[in-house]
Structure formats: C-alpha cells, structure tokens
Structure 1
Amino acid sequence: MSQHTKTVRPLVIAAVMASMAMVAIEATIVSTVMPQIVTELGGLHLYSWVFSSFLLAQTAMTVVFGKLADLYGRKPVMLIGIAIFLLGSVLAGFAWSMPAMIAFRLIQGIGAGAMQPVALTIVGDLYPARERGKIQGYLASVWAISAVVGPMLGGLIIHDLSWAWIFWINVPIGIISAIGFIRYLHEHERHGQPSIDIAGAALFTVAIAALMMALTDFGTSDYERAALELAVFVVSGMLFVAQERRAADPMISFALWSHRPIAACNAATVLSGMALMGLTTFLPMYVQGVLHRSPVIAGLALTMMMVGWPTGATLAARTFHRIGLRRTLIAGSVFLPLGAVFFATLTPDSTPVFAGLGSLVMGFGMGVVSVSCLMLIQEIVKPSERGSATASNLFSRNLGSTLGAAMFGAVLNYGLSHTKGMAAVTSDQLRQLLDSAADNLHDNAVRLALHQSLHLTFASILVISLGVVLSVMIVPAIKLRAVGEASTG
C-alpha cells in the first residue's frame, strides 16, 4: 500500500493505538475480574478456557488476516476485525454461562487476530523505517500502560458496576478507532481479482488450533486427549502443506517464511515468547511462595518488566539507524540471558528488589528484540507481502507463549514430584503455602521444594534466553534505504 495524499498519519496512528489498547487492556482486565464472573456463572472447571479460547483464535487467525490484508487492503480487514471484536465484546457482557462466555471470547480472539497484525502493517506502510521506530515505541507504551491500568480499571468496575462493563467499555473505543480509519486512512484502489486459498486457511486454522490445544493439555497432564489433538495436528498439517504447494496464491508462502532473516527473527520471537510466559507465570509464585511476600509485592516485581519493555523499544527505535538493525538486535538480545541470571540465582533469602531488577533487565531486552525483529521483517519484504510477514512475527510470539506455558508447566511439575528428601508436593500443599503466611516446619519443607522446582524453571528460561542470542546472530546485516526499502547484505 502506498501512502495516499489524503491520509492523515497522526490520526491514523491514534486509531491504531486505540485498537491495540482494546486488545491490551482486555488481556489484563479479564484476569482481574474472572473470579467474580466464575462465581456468578459457575463452571469453575472451564476457567482456563476463557483465556485459552481467546489466545487460540487469535493465534490461528493472525496469519489468515495478515494474508487477507495483503490481498484486499489494510483498511477493510481492520474494520472487519474491529467489528468482530466488538461483537464478541457485546455478547460476552450478556454471557449466561461459562460455555457461552468461552464462545464469545473466541469471537473476540478472532477480531484480535485481525486487528493486531493489520495495525502493525499499517504503521509499516505509512512510515519509513527511520520514523517507524518511534511509532513502535508508542505502541509498546500502550501495552505497558494497559498492564497497569487494566487491573485497576477492572477493580473499579467490579466495585461500582456489573462485570459486563469490562467487555462493553470496548464499544466506544472501537467505534472511535473505526471512525479514525474510515476518515483518515486512504488506500489506492486495488485492481485484479485476488484468489483466496480457503482450503489452506481452513487447514491451517485446524492445525494450529489442534497444536495449541495439545500443548495446553500436555501442560495439564491430560496426555490421552493431547495425543489425539496432536494426531489431528499432524494430519491437518500434512494436508495443509500439500494444499499450499499446489495453490495458485497460497495462504502461507514457504519461501517468505523460510527466508533467512525472517526465519531467524521468528525463531528468536518464539523463544522470547517462551521466556516471557515462563517469567510472568512463575516469578509471582516464587515471590509469594518462596520469599513469603504479598501478591502486591509479587506484582510489582513483575511489573518492572513493563517498565523495561517500552524503554528498550524506544531506545532501539532511536539508535538502530546509527548502529544498524542487526547490531541493535544482537545487543538487545544479550539483556535476556543477563536478566535471566537474576532469576536463576534467586534463593529463599533473596529480596524482591533483586527479582524486580531481573524483570527490568529482561523486559528491556525483550523491548529491543521485539521492535527490531518487527522492523527488520517489514523492511526486507515487498509492500504486497508486508501483512503476511508481520503476521508471521505475531504468530511466532503467540506460539512461543503457548509452548512456554506447556514446557515450563511440565518442568515445574517434574521438580515438585522429584524433590530430594521428601514426597511429591501436591497442588493442595502448594495452594496452602501461597495462601498462608504461616511459617511452620511443614510450610518450610514445601517452600524448599517449590524453590528447587522453580530454580529448574528459571534455569530453563536462562537456556532459552541464550537461544534467543544464537538465533539473532544468524540474521544478516540489513541496509536501510532512504525510501524505507531494504536489502540484505
């Protein structure tokens, strides 16, 4: 998409930030209010699926909508994504049971799967690389602010209003965002009749959905169902590959995805997504269960990552044109294992400040890596492939989060069941430790077992962080041109 003379870039970016704020706030506000929702609707055994359905749909549809944006333009796909997300939001507010809530959250996830890749693609279309970095810093700040505002807003809504309003507040934001795109984003008309690889899109969606469900079930030790889902993934994946090889305009270009810089950046993104999931899941558990600090302190230790992330993203945006994208990427990646060292060396006598410092350092590295990878990927493809390339990076991040949840959950379970000198720790014992401030001998034994188990988890995060460094070192040098195009060197 080439920039149209009537396009008003600042107002389009405001619309982009509004659309991303809906997805970002929803990611934190729902988790804050879910205990009240499940109390009213029942179905506690379905609790995790309220989050899993959203992530599953978002991940599976990201690549599909990225391709559609290349075929039909960014604006129509973005407006469709906003409409789907708002439909899911309105319906979720009226949910009468947990299965209904899960279904409506899945609709929200489909909308988010359209909005996120297309929003970042629009930024790539409107700004050359030297200007785009600053905008990416703004977008990173949206996620950081949402991480803080979301839980606070959820608490206020529950205190004064019905929980339904955590979903309905999206409606005015979404309408304002849509108006911004309609009025201020103008694309040149596209000629020709693009062909949609419907079979490829369907098979890809089935394959990714089956893979993510299998990973989730492996993480919860439901091996029989996970094996069945893995079989569905293998069969549908093979059919998908066969379909893409014969399709005139395939849903996924294997040549694009296997291009060395894109493959290396996406591999680094998968690994950093895994590390991020491990940290956000288990650092609060360590601070509460091992260090015996309150949930507020645990939250603050983790929130330091949300300080480091936009800082790293903004710094990368301001420096990459001087030292080069590849050097920026490698330098930023080093902060991931550096931050992971803090967690791998935590002891029961450590302070939460030590853990918070590790979060800050690791968040800084992730901010640099995420922005640099995205800009690099957008620079080495043609504008007609930018939507698909951007979507591949977001897909990698979500896939990494799911892989991380499954792998680190398995590592923790292994550690709890193989603690030296004591029997396997049960989930009830773990819950009592996290809920109780008591400091008796039994609690100390469970506390030590939790420390040893989480030490294994944090050591795994360190290894994966080193993998991020190795991945980005494979990336070739990228020379940016003044017109915002690039070549590999």
Structure 2
Amino acid sequence: MGSRGAGALQRDRHTPFMNAGSRTCGVRPKTQAITVFGQESLSVVALTLAAMTALEARDAATAPAEGKGEGEGGVLSRPYRALSIGIVFVELLIAFEATAVGTAMPVAARELDGVSLYAFAFSAYFTTSLFGMVFAGQWADRDGPLAPLTTGITAFAAGLLLSGTAGTMWLFLLGRAVQGLGGGLVVVALYVVVVRAYPERLRPAIMAAFAASWVIPSVVGPLIAGTVTEHLGWRWVFTGIPVLVVFPLALALPRIRRLSSGRSEDAGTAGREPFERRRIRLALGISLGSGLLQYAAQDLAPLSLVPGLAGAALLVPAVLGLLPRGTYRAARGLPSVVLLRGLAAGAFIAAESFVPLMLVTQRGLSPTLAGFSLAAAGGTWALGSYVQSRPRAEPYRDRLMFLGMVLLAAAVAVVPSVLIPAVPVWIVAVAWGFGCFGMGLVIASTSVLLLRLSTPEEVGSNSAALQISDGLSNIVLLAAGGAAFAALGGGKVAETATSTADGSHPTAFAAVFLPMAGVALVGAWVTTRLRER
C-alpha cells in the first residue's frame, strides 16, 4: 500500500515460504515475548520517524524564502508534524500486518482445520480491497478523506479482531475480507490527505516516508510475528494491532477533519455530488472478476476454465471503465502513469515470487538464506524513494524513472543466471538490490506524478485507478508466470526441497523471469510518455 501499494497484498501469499526459517528458536516466557514485541515495534516507529526527520532537514534547507507559514518547512515542521506522524504510523501498521501475517497464517489454517482454504485467506483480502479502493475514491472526492479514512481504519481493525478470535476458518476468511475492505479504503484516503494537506514540494518527501515505513517491517515483521506466534499464539498477531490504531488517529484526526470541510489551499470548495452508481457496479465487477480469476489460477484443470472465463468477462469491462481512458495504449500523461505503475509492480512481484523457490530447489539454499537474499533489498528500495524525493532531482524525474525500469529489467534478467551452477548465488542479492533501487525510483514517482496530474476533485478516483492497476497487474502477470512455470514442469520442481537431477527444470524458471524482464522494458518505454505535450 501507499508507496508499495496493493502489490504487497498479493506478495503475502508467498511470505510463508520465504520466511519459513525466520522464526526464533528456544523457549522464552510469554512476558519476555511481549517485551520483545513492544521493543521491536517502538524501534520500527523510531527509525521511520528518524528518516522523516532527515527529510525535514533537507526540505527546510531547500525551501524558498517566501515568508513564514505552512508553505515553509518540512514534513515535520510544526504545521505538518502531527499529521505526518499520524499517517505514516497508519502506513507502518498496515506494512507490519502485511509482512507479518504470512508467518502466522500456516499455524492459523492448521488450527482452524482450514488448510484447503489457505489461499483464500489472501485472495479474500485482496478482492475486497479492490472494491474498497474504488468506493473510497468516490467517497473522498465527494466528502473529503475523513470519513473513508476513519471507516477504513475501523474496518481494518475490526477485521483483525474477527480473524484473531475466529473459531472456524470461514469466520477467519470473513475477517480477512473485512480487513481488506478497510485496507482499500485507507490506502486511497491517504493519497487524498497528501494532496490536500501538503504543498507540491513536500509530496515527494511524504511518499518517501511511506516507502521507508515498509522497509523495516519487511525485515523484522516476520521475526516478530514468528516470536509472537511461537510464544503467545497466532491470534496475537491479529489482535495485537488494533489497539495501536488509537495513537495515529488521535494525532492526525484534527487536521484531517479540517481538510474534509473541502476548504484547503489545494482543494478549494467542492460540491456534494451523489455516488456514481456505474462506478460502484464496475467496482463489484472488478472484485468478483479478480476473485474468480484467482480461484481459477489455483488449479489448471479444464474445469477451471469456467470460473476463469467468467472472471475475465467481469474483469475486462470493469478495468476499461475504471482506469483512465487510453491507459492500455499508453496515452500521454495520466494514462501512462497508471499503466507504468501496473507494469512495474506486476513484473516485480511476479519475478520476486519465484526467487526463493529457485534458490531452494535449484541451488539447495535453506528457506532462511533464500529469504535473506531478498530482505536487504528493502533498504535500496527506500534509498531509491529518497533519491526521487530530493528537490534537485525533480527536473530529471522522467529520466530517473526510465533508469529505474531499466535497472528492474536488468535485475530480473540477471537473477536466473544462478541456474548455471558456476554462477555464485550472491549475484541474486546484488542484482535484486539494484532492481529494488529502481523500484524505489519508479513507484514513489508514479504517486507524485499522479497527484500532480490530478485536479483536487479527481484525486480519489485517480488514486484508486493507480492502486487497481498495481493490484490487477500482480494478478495477471503472476497468473501468467505461474501458468508458464507449471506447463514446463514447475509443479515437480516445487515438490523438491533441494536441487536434484529430477527436480532441476531451469527452463521453467527462465519462462517466468525473462518475459517479466521484457515487461519491465516495455515500462521503460512508457516512461517516455508520462508528460503531456
């Protein structure tokens, strides 16, 4: 979400494999586990706010001398401090839950006797989040960000509590669906808050702070969740988060309440218009269609064609109706920004999902080492986000985005070179570090450009379109990569725990990575069409 967006939601379903070795060993008393959880959470907040402080110092040093007021200072200057801390804390909680939940999910599924429904615990979240994104776009444009943000946070917390207290797998899935609806509302409402509350020069900085809030949870989230699951039980991973929501709400609500009056320096006064029923119907279509498509992707049997075709029939018209006109022909301006977000996120997630599997089955690495080969790349992602946020980089934003997509394409193309036994496996960590640096340049920049190209009355709907492009590309490209992988013997590969003669099918992995590198190169071309002539 936020800077990493809905792609992180789809990535969740692979997290248990990547982080299988991340859980702590030994025996600790429950009270000590609680202390560790609290200390790690506070450390995450402190480090994220430290990154924001650095951004503030840089912004203050480069701010134009136009007199005092809200136009001067950084994201942690007095007019913005409470709001910045509040909304970044919200992003931090969502990031922690997204990265930690995969560690607890296998235990929850076994305890609730629902292993057969395991995949739906992730798809239920994602499917309802798509509807929430579209609905939040209209709601925020109509009434301001307060109502969708508070409703979304409430639904997110309620879903966590429902899942954490569930006695059956079906009730657990209901909780995940409610949580997804809340997450979809929140991610779009935050974009509206940014465009209405911050001047344009500060928006890259707050987007970089959003990106930074994902870095540390991606590393320590599974470790914390593993510790809590082992010593307190999986339910605490879900029920321990809602109480923390009170803090960011108390900080940010006063400022957001003023923004929702419709009178801000960017938004002006907006009329109150009814919800557009056509977009609501399209939102339902895109949610149901994506759900059916994900269901069909679980099984490549002939009968799976029926839900797959039904999902496509719902999905295609909904996508064409919800995304800006000209998106899939790369029309200049906003349509190309939305398209680029989908190409970047989809190619990245589809490739990243197969990296740990390749390292374990083809090179004999443990799941822990395979996961660590990707973990450090979160820092380079944050570095890329920071680079694009610098005022001096603004004239070169398009070139930086082109560079980012080229780096991603190169990384995805280099990673499968480890299928050759003579190539050292550390090449993966290095290549993925460069690829994530490129993603940091691109993802945050697409958010900045979208806000710049949107009128205040369109921010909600256009932000929803950006997130939909992100999420749907994950579904489509991951499904395509998975189908190619399975067709070339990947199913047999996945059943092996180490590299063996029978389990070595490098062609199956190459069929995933090389096409995704091509998708990234298409994205590099799209970066030449981001500016309206």
Q: Is the 8 A contact 2:283 2:318 kept in 1?
A: no
Match of 1:397 among 470, 484, 491: 470
**Corresponding position of 2:347:** 275
Matched, 1:98 2:134: no
Deviation at 1:369, TM superposition (A): 0.5
Deviation at 1:125, TM superposition (A): 2.2
Match of 2:440 among 367, 386, 396: 367
Change (3 A) 1:463 1:197: same
* CA–CA separation in structure 2 for the residues paired with 1:96 and 1:320: 55
* CA–CA separation in structure 1 for the residues paired with 2:528 and 2:98: 32
Deviation at 1:381, TM superposition (A): 1.5
Deviation at 1:232, TM superposition (A): 5.5
Matched, 1:136 2:200: no
Q: Is the 8 A contact 2:204 2:444 kept in 1?
A: yes
CA displacement, residues 402-439 of structure 1 (integer Å, 9 cap, x when unaligned): 112201101111221xxxxxxxx654x632x22x5xx7
SS of the residue aligned with 2:364? Answer: coil
Matched, 1:261 2:261: no
Q: Percentage identity across aligned positions?
A: 21
Letter in 2 for 1:290: Q
Matched, 1:466 2:527: no
CA displacement, residues 113-171 of structure 1 (integer Å, 9 cap, x when unaligned): 01112113212222233222122111101111111121011111112212111111221
**Which consecutive unaligned segments of at least 5 residues does structure 1 have?**
245-250, 417-424, 477-487
**Corresponding position of 2:143:** 72
Deviation at 1:319, TM superposition (A): 5.2
**Corresponding position of 1:208:** 287
Deviation at 1:472, TM superposition (A): 1.3
Deviation at 1:72, TM superposition (A): 0.7
Change (3 A) 1:223 1:104: farther
Change (3 A) 1:50 1:209: same
Match of 1:302 among 352, 371, 374: 374
Change (3 A) 1:103 1:224: same
**Which consecutive unaligned segments of at least 5 residues does structure 2 have?**
1-69, 72-77, 263-269
**Corresponding position of 2:430:** 357
Q: Is the 8 A contact 1:333 1:366 kept in 2?
A: yes
* CA–CA separation in structure 2 for the residues paired with 1:260 and 1:108: 36
Instruction: Tell me how many residue pairs correspond in the alignment.
Output: 450
Change (3 A) 1:469 1:445: same
Change (3 A) 1:37 1:380: same
CA displacement, residues 61-117 of structure 1 (integer Å, 9 cap, x when unaligned): 212212211111011211111111111111111111111111110100000001112
Q: Is the 8 A contact 1:58 1:112 kept in 2?
A: yes
Q: Is the 8 A contact 2:336 2:530 kept in 1?
A: yes
Matches within 5 A, 1:176-195: 176-185=247-256, 186-187=258-259, 189-190=261-262, 192-195=271-274
Q: Is the 8 A contact 1:134 1:314 kept in 2?
A: yes
Matches within 5 A, 1:411-422: 411-416=484-489
Matched, 1:289 2:361: yes
Q: Is the 8 A contact 1:70 1:386 kept in 2?
A: yes
Matches within 5 A, 1:96-175: 96-175=167-246
* CA–CA separation in structure 2 for the residues paired with 1:54 and 1:469: 31
Matched, 1:388 2:445: no
CA displacement, residues 237-287 of structure 1 (integer Å, 9 cap, x when unaligned): 65898xx7xxxxxx7775899863221122111111222222221000111
Letter in 1 for 2:289: A
Change (3 A) 1:284 1:345: same
Q: Is the 8 A contact 1:58 1:109 kept in 2?
A: yes
SS of the residue aligned with 2:502? Answer: helix
Letter in 1 for 2:373: A
SS of the residue aligned with 2:390? Answer: helix
SS of the residue aligned with 1:195? Answer: coil
Change (3 A) 1:120 1:331: same
Match of 2:452 among 364, 374, 379: 379
Q: TM-score, normalised by structure 2?
A: 0.78
CA displacement, residues 303-360 of structure 1 (integer Å, 9 cap, x when unaligned): 1331221111111111564433322222222211121231143323322210011110
